Each structure stands twice: as C-alpha cells, then as structure tokens.
A and B are shown apart, each in its own frame.
Chain A
Amino acid sequence: MSVRPVLGESVRVADLSFGYHREDVVQGVSFTAKAGGFLGIIGPNGSGKSTLLKLMSGVEKPRGGSVEVADFDIATRSRLELGRHIAVVPQETTMAFPYTVLEMVLFGRTPHLSGFAFENDRDVDVARWALDRTATSHLAQRPVTELSGGERQRVALARALAQEPRVLLLDEPSAFLDIRHEVEMYDLLRELANEGMTIVSVLHDLNLAALYCEHIVLLSDGAVYRQGRPEEVMNYENLTTVYGTEIYVSLNDITGTLNILPLDVTHRAQLAARRAEGEGET
C-alpha cells in the first residue's frame, strides 16, 4: 500500500499550568518530546497526567505556559489544523451507535475533509493501512459495539493512526487490556516511534514504562518531580517518595531494564522493623 507514516514532530511543553477552579492541577510543567521518540508520563492518581495530555491535545486551554509542536504554539492554530497534527487514543472508547470498525477508523479522516463530503480512495487506503498496522483488518465489517476490550483499543489506535498524526498522544491505552494485548500494543507503538512518529503516553504500569520509553516524566502533585532516562528517574527513592509506598526496583536479567514491584503490608512491616533495628545499632 502506498501509505507511509508521516514523520513526527517534536513537542515542547513549556512552563505549563492549569487548574479547574482555584488550585492548580498542573503547575510549571516543562519537557520536550523528541521527534520520533517514545516519552512516558508516569505518576500517582491525581498527579495531573490526564490533564497534561488534554492540554497537549488542546482540549483544555492552559492558564499559563505553552505547548509547541514543531515550530508553532498550538494555541495559535485552529481545531482542524490541530486534528491534522495530533491524534489521541483515550483510555476507553464508548460508541453511541453500532458503526462498523471501518467506519470508525474512517472517522480518523475527519480533520482531512471539509463540509459534507465522502471519503476518497486515499482516505480509504489510509484507513486500511491503519487497520493493517493494528492487526484489525479482519474486524473491518464488525460493529464496534460488539468488540472485546482488546479489539476496541486496537481499533481506537487504528482510528488515531488514520489521522496521519505527527504526534500520537495516549492516555493509559492499555488500562483495560490483559498482559499480552498490552505488550502487543506497546510493541506496535515502539515500532511506530522507530518509523519516526512522536509518541507520548501516560502509563499506569511502571514496568512497561521502563521497558518501552526512552524518556520518563515523573509527575507529583501536578509538577515534574524528575525526568530523564528510565534508570535515572525510576529508582527506589524517587518512586517510594512520589507514590507514597515502598517500591522495590531491580534489574531484569533478560532485558536489562528495570523491574519495579511494590511491597505488600507484611514486607513493608519487616522492612520497617529492620530499619528500626539498624538505627538502634548505630
């Protein structure tokens, strides 16, 4: 097929702040997602991850700071233009009416059409390519309302890819997937990043974040606590402090990446006892 992924653009988030009421949900966040890179945003519940993503897609307007894609500030562009640059895969897609998978993926062409229009051959080619990349071609004629959770998320990704975005934002895309579907999804994202697409994903699973992302932004209370390569950011001190529970970090001897495990109540107690003992001796 003639469709090739569009080359990604870098995203620069500069001193971004936002709040729904008085208090700031996001405060002074700055980072840069490299073109063709895979950046992961992690942090505890309520640390502002999803809000940050909404600001980056322009759904919410920041109180201060800016989001720049390539050379323009997204605040200066129309919704339609943003739709041609940035695609978002939400945590979960609920569909109001029984569209077929192909129809839903063709919705991704929305920003490329205007007024009352029918999709042309190229639009259909792009949709077929997106289905192919996400291994959902066989589902094309199925109603989206009848898909399993895993299938639905892959179709949601296909829809986002059909937008031909320069930047792909994902909000915990695997929150409702089992481990195999999760890995398959991130493998595909890794592949897309290697082909040049810029990927920014909020991740719930710290191990997957360590495994797939080159750059990690660790959020705490709406601000960046640390950022950098996974092994710089995701160590015992940082994670334990930010998440507020004992977290054990080791190296995986197969992948060489980090293994991150929480400690259960018994082991937390043992650890605390051992520490108290240690303090008593010195």
Chain B
Amino acid sequence: MTTHSRLTRQRFAVVISCLSVLLVCSVLACAMIGPVRINLAEVFSPGVEATILFRARLPRVLLSVAVGAALAMAGTVLQALLRNPLAEPHILGVSGGAAFGGVLTLFFADQTMLPAFLVTPVGAFAGALAAMLAVYRLGTVHGKLQPYTFLLAGVVCNAFTGALIMAVNSMADLFQTHGILFWLMGSLATTSYPLVAASFVYVLLGGGLLLRETRSLNALSLGEESATQLGVDVAAVRRLCFVVVSLLVGAGVAVSGMIGFVGLIVPHVTRLLFGPDHRLLLPASALVGGVFLAGADTLARSATGAAEIPVGVVTALCGGPFFVYLLRRKGGQDFGI
C-alpha cells in the first residue's frame, strides 16, 4: 500500500481545490451529454438547446451532485464511528428507514390530500432517524458501541423496513402502489432549482457540522476508550454524527429514493487516494461522491437509447462487485476487527 504524507493546510488546500475543479468540469461534461447534442455557441441565446441544458439537464446534474455528496459523507462518518470500512447507510438500514418513512407519508398523504412533496421529506428524515436510533440502541451496550452487533442490528433493520414497505404497499390500491414503487426506485430527474438549492443547504449544513468533528473521528479510529482518554466526548460526537447522518440520508432518499453503495464505494476510494485523515477524507469524499453520482446518473439516463435505467441500478451494479472485492481482499483483518 502506498503511504500518504501528513495532512497540512497546504495539502488540504491543494486536494480540495483540485477536486472542486474536477467537480465543476464533471458537472459541465455531464450536462453536455444526452440524446440532444448541445452546441455551446447556442446555449446563451434563448432556444431549445438552452432550455434543455438549463431546465432539464443542469438541475438534474446538480441534484445528483448534492445527493452523491450527502451519501458519501454519511458513509464516511458511519465507517469512522463503527471503525468498519463496510458500514454504509444502506447496509445499516438507515436508507431503509428513510424509505419506509417516505412510503408511509406517501400513503397517508394520498388518503388525507396533504401535498406529498411537503410531507415526504419529513417522513424520510423521521424514518432515517428512527432507524438510526433503533440500530444505535441495539448496537450499544453500557454506553459502548459494539461494531459487530451494530452492523447486525443494521442488517435486521434493513430487512424489517423492507417488510414494512411491502406491507404498506399491499394495503395500497393499484394507483398508489405505482406511485410508491416509482418513488422507491428513485430518480434524480428534476427541473426545480429550489429543490436543488434546498439539497445543497442540507449538504453544506450537515457537512459543516461533521467537519468540526473530523479530528474526533480520527481519534475514534483508536477505539472509543482511547479517544475518550484523548479528551474526546465520545457520546456527544456519536450523537451529533448519527443525527446529521440521518438528516443527510433522509434528505437524499426524499429527493431521489434508494440509491445504494455510494456511501460504501466513495469513502473507500477516496481513502485509498488521499489517506484516512478524516479532516481531508470527509470533504474529499463529498466532492468525489458528487462526481461519482453525477457520472452514474448520466450513464443511467443515456446508456440505453430509449428508456432510462434507475440510477440506483447503476450504483448497485458498480457497488455489489466492489463490496465483494473488499470482503475478499481485506478479509477484515487489516482493520482490527
């Protein structure tokens, strides 16, 4: 394994600037790709090409950047808290909780005529928080987090919420079922800049809160007891991180449904590239996550000519084999677990 140098202000600035440039370039490139060829000279005058670029493609690409960043940060933080590189919002049932919360609100919004676009994010966030809390309570004994138990509790939570979603689905009528399935499959298609802006507020707010805890996350790599002895208030850090992760995942699921494996692949690749120091890893993962999901979504909407495939399918097709590769390669022994 190649070693990385110690994190300094300069190195931080260089890596973050380079990744930011890469992100901007990716956004532009992804916005250019699609069934209609865009002529750069035409986009600044009103017309079909400008409409396609600014009304359809750009908000969609930007939304995928926000969701990718949110999921990647959530994965990074969960891996740090659990001291396990296989932790991820999907695997831990947080996404499942968010999905169930969203589905439940969709179901009742339909019954009560409440506007779904208002209540679904609340439901998704509440679901994510409830799932996180349940897994947290099950995975913590005497105030100490037990990574194995925690992971298992997450797997159970995931299966449980899956069953609950099916139960709700079976109670819904055909029309509702279609709406629920459509929402669950997830799509980043949007034309709404307010939605994009709201997503970025979530990401920046959550990212800012998490960034302040990154030195504590570093210390936590030594174990909870050693981190405590280094002056870290472990319980407070854990609480804050779990709430923010729920917020990020809830927001992500609310706008785009279940998109798996981003939180697994991105932190891992970023760690290999830039080292495990969370002060750099967290913001770098956010940027790489943005690039990754923007790319995956572009692939999803343009790979097959006619109908697009759900972006979650693309990330899962990349992520599944990657997960297996990690399991085979590391076998856990490199990580002290």
Contacts and interface: CB of A to CB of B under 8 A. Distances in A.
Interface stretch (A75-83, A227-235, A240-248): A75-83
Interface string B1-30: 101111111001000000000000000000
Interface string A129-149: 000000000000111011000
Interface residues of A, number: 46
Interface residues of B, number: 41
Nearest to A92: B336
B137 interface: no
Interface string B69-98: 000000000001001110000000000000
B55 interface: no
Interface in B271-288: 271, 275-277, 279
Interface string B52-75: 000000000000000000000000
A108 interface: yes
A102 B6 contact: yes
B7 A118 contact: yes
B6 A110 contact: no
Given A97-B271, A100-B4, A110 B219 contact: yes
B97 to A, nearest CB: 25
Interface string A98-112: 111011101110110
Contacts of A95: 221-222, 335-336
Contact of A115 (B3, B9, B212, B336): B212
Contacts of B308: none
Contacts of A20: 142
Contacts of A98: 1, 276, 334
A116 B214 contact: yes
B188 to A, nearest CB: 31
Given A100-B3, A110-B215, A83 B221 contact: no
B42 interface: no
Contact of B211 (A93, A113, A116): A116
Contacts of A99: 218, 221, 275-277
Nearest to B142: A20
B109 interface: no
B295 to A, nearest CB: 26
A203 interface: no
Interface stretch (B164-172, B177-185, B227-235, B254-262): B227-235
Contacts of B334: 98, 145
B226 interface: yes
Given A79-B233, A110-B219, A111-B231, A93 B212 contact: no
B228 to A, nearest CB: 5
B179 to A, nearest CB: 42
A93 B231 contact: no
B110 interface: no
B40 interface: no
Contacts of B12: 118
Contacts of B276: 97-99, 103
B218 A143 contact: no
Contact of A90 (B214, B216, B226, B279): B226
Nearest to B219: A110
A57 B231 contact: no
**In the complex, which of the residues B84, B223, B230, B279 has the most CB atoms of chain A within 10 Å of its own CB atom?**
B230
Contacts of A111: 230-231
A247 to B, nearest CB: 32
A226 interface: no
Contacts of A118: 7-9, 12, 279
Question: 3 shortest A-B CB distances, which residue pairs?
Answer: A83-B231, A94-B336, A111-B231
Interface of A: 20, 54, 57-59, 78-84, 86-88, 90, 93-100, 102-104, 106-108, 110-111, 113, 115-119, 124, 141-143, 145-146, 159, 163
Given A95-B221, A102-B6, 9 more contacts: A78-B231, A95-B335, A96-B83, A97-B85, A108-B230, A110-B219, A110-B231, A124-B6, A145-B336
